[in-house]
Amino acid sequence: MSTPFVAMICGSRSDLPTLEDGGKVLDELQVPHEIRVISAHRAPELLDTYLTQATERGARVFVCAAGLAAHLAGAVAARSPWPVIGVPMPGGIAEGLDALLATVQMPKGVPVATVGVGRADNAAILAAQILSTGDDALAKRIRAYRAAQTQKILDDPTNQATT
Ligand code: RP5
């Protein structure tokens, strides 16, 4: 049986640094993943081929980052039974609000779980959480990740001050 992994796709090379931030979170959580740059509009056939092949290889959650018309996540959700997380990218005439609305407003029956504008890091955590429903070791790593971020706040010097 193939190892489940997160397939991360962005619509343009200009989206890549943001998506790579999500990849770093998945590295930290030791979640297998890969990144592709495939525009739903400029290379629809490549997107079809990739989705088929990635699913055969074990892709079980898709993270899709796109800006402007931002149809990538919806195009993937239309073709895949596996969960799709959309990352609206900043920019455009409404500074990312346009991409947010394009990503989140899916028709009934074809959901895309949408995170905040540019929040590929949160998309990565959510993807890991989805995979962790069938992976106790991963669930433990996510709990540790969350505990570490809480500890960082507790350790912040501003919270150590006494009056
Ligand atoms: C979208 O348009 C991409 O996802 C990107 O966020 C935006 C700009 O793309 P480029 O014109 O820089 O390739 O399709």
- Provide DSSP, 95-141: TTHHHHHHHH-PPTT---EE-STT-HHHHHHHHHHHHHTT-HHHHHH
The CATH number assigned to the domain holding 120 equals 3.40.50.1970
99 lines ligand 1 (CB under 6 A): no
Residue 149 lies in a domain: no
Residue 53 lies in a domain: yes
Residue among 16, 35, 68, 71 to mutate when testing ligand 1 (max atoms within 8 A of CB): 68
**Number of domains into which the chain is organized:** 1
Q: Which domain holds residue 99?
A: 5-135
Residue 32 lies in a domain: yes
Residue 145 lies in a domain: no
Residue 162 lies in a domain: no
Residue 29 lies in a domain: yes
Q: What is the value of pTM for the model shown? A: 0.96
In tens digits, the chain (163 residues) has pLDDT values of: 789 999 999 999 999 999 999 999 999 999 999 999 999 999 999 999 999 999 999 999 999 999 999 999 999 999 999 999 999 999 999 999 999 999 999 999 999 999 999 999 999 999 999 999 999 999 999 999 999 999 999 999 999 877 6
Distance, in Å, from the CA atom of 71 to the CA atom of 87, rounded to the nearest integer, reads 11
Residue 18 Cα, ligand 1 centroid: separation in angstroms? 12
89 lines ligand 1 (CB under 6 A): yes
12 lines ligand 1 (CB under 6 A): yes
CB-CB contact of 66 with 103 (8 Å): yes
Of 6, 15, 19, nearest in space to 121 by CA: 19
